[in-house]
Amino acid sequence: MPGAGRRRSVRVGPDAASGYLRTMTDAAAADAPSNARPYSVSELAFALKRTLEDAYGFVRLRGELSKVTHHSNGHVYLTLKDERAAIDGVVWKGSVRGLKCRPEQGLEVIVTGKITTYPAGSRYQIVIETMEPAGVGALLAQLEKLKARLAAEGLFDRARKKPIPAMPATIGVITSPTGAVIRDILHRIRDRWPCRVVVWPVVVQGDAAATQVRAAIDGFCALGGGPIPRPDVLIVARGGGSVEDLWPFNDEQLARTVAGCTIPLISAVGHETDTTLIDFVSDMRAPTPTAAAEMATPVLAELRAAVSDLSARMHRCGARVVEDRRGRVEAAGRSLARIPDLVEMAGQRFNIAASRLSAGLTRNVDAHERDLVRVAARLSPHLLERPQRVQLDRLTGLAARLAPAVDRKLDRAAERLAGLEKLRLSLNPDRPLRLGFARVHRPDGTLVTTGASLASGDSVALVFQDKENVRHAVVDGGAPEPRPAKTARAKPPAAPAEQGDLF
């Protein structure tokens, strides 16, 4: 083939490549005899490979990175795309270090390299030699704006995230019922923790995926008492894929539904390197669906082992405490004296005290006897008779003076009583009634003391000595006219009546 094995550093477009291939085909058809030798598949594949490498030995492309995979051997596999087409690409291990930017999902870059084919798969790809950033891709830029707006609203705050229950009784799984994801989750949960799993089937790719996932979350939250229990934790799971495949999980309404979910939710969308919007608003993010099943459930065997270990530790601690207390008691017992020794010493002290007690009592009695004899020598009957005689003389004198004093006091009391009786009789208001006088009372019972206080027509009551016969009268006429005073010969003053002694 002309030009085979040569590398031309020119930039050509798709139209030039098509013309070049048509020229080669037409030339081969014109020169080929009727009995042309057929090509083998390998010959044709490698001929095409050489043709593309010669025609597109140096290509400069601009596009958005997708499906970026960093292989363990150091190579990077990716896809360059725009609005209408995509092309696979590879960066060999030796060229990765010389790149001006690290290949990331959604990054818009400008790359240079050559077009080649993969004969074993009939695919063409670009072998990238240099890469430089050209800006953020359209999808990634849209996602970053939405992410910033939700973060400003507080949907990503760690304080609003709910804790995942340690031992759930029911787990709700929202995923496709036909994929390998649900089988991995069920298998992992069955191996770790015996609980009930409720699966809500949804599509996880396409335009309807976000709507169905939202409906599933709302449906689980609306469950109450019924045949289907309300899950303790939810898992939204999907396998890996490109940005376009995972894009439904970047839906704004789905993110708000996840943020408002009343059940703790674990997002497990894509592989560990894939990040979607619901990963930021969910209560926990799992790198894979299998990891989500592990985060939602404990290991029953580990719990049993932990309980057994705690029980054994408790028994060992109890045994150590008992042994420690026993040792402390034995040590305290060794420091104490033996009971026979204590009793023997007390017995010796008792015997010594008992032997001294008899002699002490005898000496005490002798001492008191000597004191009594010494005091008894000064005692005699005359010492007791003299105070008795003095007291008897005093009592006799008092008795002789008591009778006249009592008689005098009684006489004075009688005289005083007689005087009080005379005073009582002189002050008795009924005494003048016996002398012919009468008392004048008003109808209300008050006593009339002056005639001026009565008016003509007033009713009065007259009380005489016989109080039972009260006479009523009416005042008639006015006050009498004053009479001229008569000159009378002054009478000598009467001698004052002798007043009796009241006492």
Q: What is the mean pLDDT of residues 95-105?
A: 85
Q: How far is CA 375 from the centre of its chain?
A: 89
In angstroms and rounded to an integer, the radius of gyration of the C-alpha atoms of the chain is 68
Q: Mean pLDDT throughout 358-362? A: 86
CA 322 to CA 74: how far, in whole Å? 62
Residue 164 confidence (pLDDT): 94
Going by pLDDT thresholds of 50, 70 and 90, the confidence category of residue 6 is very low
pLDDT per position as a tens digit, 192-222: 998 999 999 999 988 899 999 999 999 999 9
Nearest to 280 by CA among 404, 151, 100, 94: 151
Which is more confidently placed, 139 or 25?
139
pLDDT of 139: 64
pLDDT computed for residue 378 by the predictor:
74
Q: State residue 313's pLDDT score.
A: 94
Encode 314-346 in three state secondary structure.
HHHHHHHHHHHHHHHHHHHHHHCCCHHHHHHHH
Angle, nearest 10°, between helix axes 138-152 and 252-259? Answer: 30
pTM > 0.85: yes or no: no
**Can you give the pLDDT at residue 482?**
57
CB neighbour burial string for 59-91, b if at least 16 within 10 angstroms, e if fewer = bebebbbbbbeeeeeeebebbbbeeeeebebbb
Choose between 320 and 226: higher pLDDT.
Answer: 320
Phi (first) and psi of residue 126, to 5 degrees: -110, 130
Q: Over 60: is that where the pLDDT of 22 sits? A: no
Sign of CA dihedral 186, 187, 193, 194: positive
Average pLDDT over residues 35-54: 85
- Mean pLDDT on 414-441: 84
pLDDT band at 12 (very low <50, low <70, confident <90, very high): very low
Residue range 239-298, pLDDT digits in tens: 887 777 888 999 999 999 999 999 999 999 988 888 899 999 999 999 999 999 999 999
**pLDDT-derived band at 2, boundaries 50, 70, 90:** very low
Q: Would you state the pLDDT for residue 127?
A: 93
Whether the pLDDT of residue 423 is over 70: the answer is yes
More confident residue, 222 or 403: 222
Please report the pLDDT score of residue 469 as a whole number: 74
pLDDT for 4 equals 35
Beta bridge partners of 462: 440, 471
pLDDT tens-digit map of 454-467: 888 888 888 887 77
Contacts for 8 with CB less than 8 Å, ≥ 6 apart: 54, 55, 57, 58
Q: Express as a percent the part of the chain with pLDDT over 70.
A: 86
Question: How is residue 140 written in tokens?
Answer: 């990634």
User: So what's the pLDDT on residue 138?
Assistant: 59
Beta carbons of 229 and 249 less than 8 angstroms apart = no
In this prediction, residue 485 carries a pLDDT of 53
Distance CA 263, CA 260 (A): 9
- What are the chain's domains? 14-136 (2.40.50.140), 142-302 (3.40.50.261)
- Output the pLDDT for position 445: 79
Least confident of 17-21, 55-59, 71-75, 336-340: 17-21
User: What backbone torsions phi and psi does residue 338 show, to the nearest 5 degrees?
Assistant: -75, 145
In this predicted structure, what is the pLDDT of residue 492? 54
Asked if the model's pLDDT at residue 137 lies above 50, the reply is yes
| Region of poorest pLDDT, from 182-186, 325-329, 449-453 | 449-453
Reported as a single tens digit per residue, the pLDDT across 284-321 is 999 999 999 999 999 998 889 999 999 999 999 999 99
Q: Which residues contact 11 (CB under 8 A, 6 or more apart)?
A: 58, 59, 60
**In the predicted model, what is the mean pLDDT of the chain?**
82
**Residue 232 predicted with pLDDT over 90:** yes
Q: In the chain, what percentage of residues exceed pLDDT 90?
A: 35
451 or 99, which is more confident: 99
At 14, the pLDDT band (50, 70, 90 cuts) reads very low
Asked whether the beta carbons of 64 and 134 are under 8 A apart, the reply is no
